[in-house]
Amino acid sequence: MRYGLLIAGVVALAVPAHAASRSEYVTMVLQAFAAKVECPGVDVAYQDLMQKAQEMQMPDGTTEQVRNAIAFTHTDGKMGERQADDLMSEVTTATQSTQMDQKRLGMKTWCETQKTRLAGFVRTKD
pLDDT top residue among 119 and 13: 119
How many structural domains comprise the chain? Answer: 1
Q: Once rounded to an integer, what is the mean pLDDT over residues 53-78?
A: 95
- Contacts by 57-61 with C-beta closer than 8 Å and gap 24+? 57/21, 58/21, 58/22, 58/25
User: Quick one: pLDDT band at residue 49, thresholds 50, 70, 90?
Assistant: very high
Would the pLDDT of 13 be above 70?
A: no
Q: Once rounded to an integer, what is the mean pLDDT over residues 15-36?
A: 82
pLDDT value of residue 120: 76
Strand partners, 123: 43
Predicted structure pTM score: 0.80
**Domain, as residue range, for 51:** 2-124
